Amino acid sequence: MGILTRFKDIMSSNINALLDKAEDPEKMIEQCLRNLNSDLGKVKSETAVVMAEEQRSKRELDECTAEINKMQQYAIKALEAGNEDDAKKFLEKKGALTSKQAGLQQAYDLAHTNATNMRNMHDKLVKDINELNSRKEMIKGKMAVAKTQERLNKMTSNMNGNSSISAFERMEAKANAAMDKANAMAELNAGPSDSIEDLTAKYAGSTSNVDDELAALKASLGQH
């Protein structure tokens, strides 16, 4: 039977080791689950056949053993009745059954081993499937958190490196630079100032204003 040839592979498989090496654990879990469920379906089908064979071989062995015991009892009864020939026939039959019993025992031992292997495989597959289902939900949760964190990281990076505020600050700096340049050009275009003329105008204007104010004050007081 084909599934028994995979017995060692299935029993020695390490789900955790496979997941640790996987680049995408979530996809690996999905694939492992498909494989395990496929194997489990085959194991169940084969197990039913093997267990039936185990029961049949066990029944034949038990019947043969019972028949051997029966021949032994008949031989004893025949001797007790003084019928040695009959006792001999019963013992001959017992010998033939004993030879048959050896073959039936071998058949049962093999069937029992196969059934044990199938049950072990079944239990291992069920355990692995349950473990993977549990890991699947955990990994999905971690992946969701990781994706959310990745989006937040991108948003933070954009705000720090290329945000509207940064763009506004750059435009403001350009405007300030342009204004400073325009003011400098206006100052240059005005030309050099004449300090003597400025000073003369200052004192001339100041004297005229004082004289006019003094004359107005005298007139208000009736002085000439």
User: Cα-flanking dihedrals φ and ψ of residue 40, to 5°?
Assistant: -65, -40
Tell me the one-letter amino acid at 148. Answer: T
Q: Name residue, tokens 């789900």.
A: 15
pLDDT band at 4; cut points 50, 70, 90: low
pLDDT of residue 47: 87
**Which residues, in sequence order, are CB contacts of 112 under 8 Å at separation 6+?**
54, 57, 58
pLDDT band at 148; cut points 50, 70, 90: confident
Q: What is the DSSP letter of 24?
A: S
> Which domains, from first to last, does the chain contain?
2-162 (1.10.287), 196-224 (no CATH)
pLDDT of residue 213: 76
| Residues 67-92 pLDDT 10s | 999 999 999 999 999 999 999 999 99
Residue of 138, 112, 136, 129 whose CA lies nearest to 10 = 129
Whether the predicted model's global pTM rises above the 0.75 cut: no
Neighbours of 146 (CB within 10 A): 10
| Residues 5-56 pLDDT 10s | 666 666 667 766 666 666 676 777 788 788 888 888 888 888 899 999 999 9
